[in-house]
Structure 1
């Protein structure tokens, strides 16, 4: 990956014209049904815990800070191979989604060690991949890994929610497994959506009441403290809230990519199309 390629990761020019937009990823008939969809089950969930979000909004620092993540990735305990162990299946599902919508570019927000992104970049050389993370340490490491793999269609830059600094727009914006550490979750979801090109797709998951209760049930304080905002019900969302926030009905990612076996109540992932 060249220095010029790295510099382009945060610039303001769209990669591709507005005329290169994607068609809808499935019809409205693909919306979640009551037959086992965690998103529908979650639609009215969280009322009794969501009320804490505003009351707790000013509590102290959390792992959402750049310094905390940077210290983690620079620490002796983190290793790239161990860091990607929990991502099995994510690249396969994302690959199915790419096959459906055929994007020109794909942005992953909160990419971390970018295990799925590297696999996808190798499988889809015609797609430009962009990885954003708040930690300069992991971005540097990802850039070295991209160079080692000889990949010139994947770029990395330091950026973070709730408001990304880049003013690029993309055919797919993908944010899975990272909103748990963002306090201003509604602002973050709206900001993600603004970075989707018209006709493109937002793929996002969010903490809900099921995950909140699971975190509370952890046996050790250390495990409960991994996701303090979720533990304290400060940033929980529901399927319906995502739809109201963005003005477009979400659809189940699992249903669209034929991965119902991966569906979990505590791990909802939805797709929202950007419409003009």
Structure 2
């Protein structure tokens, strides 16, 4: 008979068994030396900062690549704007541009008016208490009888025959007034007569208007009168119609006509009411 064999039964559990081999002493020593080397190099040479700087350079392309989708998404709103939105913005810009242009024009006008007012005040040689500032409203298109309408203050004391003056000289006189406006007969009016005196010859005469754009004429000047071309004439103050010494015009022509017993002396009114917006009304004393 064969001998009986004995068998051992082993049970294997389902739990995993991990075997961790022991680290060799040489590796431990090498790791410690490496750590000490890195620590000393960082302390004495700032190795970590240099490594970190180089790391930034190395990873910069990667960072740009990561942020690229975000940049594309943020800009996609501008790229895909509708045509209606762009047109609306363009219209708004046009409106703002118009507003700026209007504002600039208004400022230019205000600046021009301020310069005009400064010239007026600096030219005032008479009693300042007798001046009232007025602004042109309209001027009629009648060439021979032009009528100037000016705006006046409701508390002003403007009266008939008060003189209208600018920094360049005499303009006319008030022929009618209400609470807020006044009518002015200009020197150019064919109905206008202004007593004047010449600057050099000191001769007295009356100027009669000839219409807008035309010269006035001295009335009844004897041929013995010694007027000169270019001589200036001023208001004489006779009859208290106009204040004395206000510039009126300049002699531009002297003709001795054979069929007339008087000289024909023409006066140019250098001051045009068409180019002026503000005036002084001088209240005659």
TM-score between the two structures when normalised by the length of structure 2: 0.22
Between 1 and 2, higher relative CO (CA 8 Å, sep ≥ 6) is seen in: 1
Larger relative helix fraction: 1
TM-score between the two structures when normalised by the length of structure 1: 0.22
Larger relative strand fraction: 2
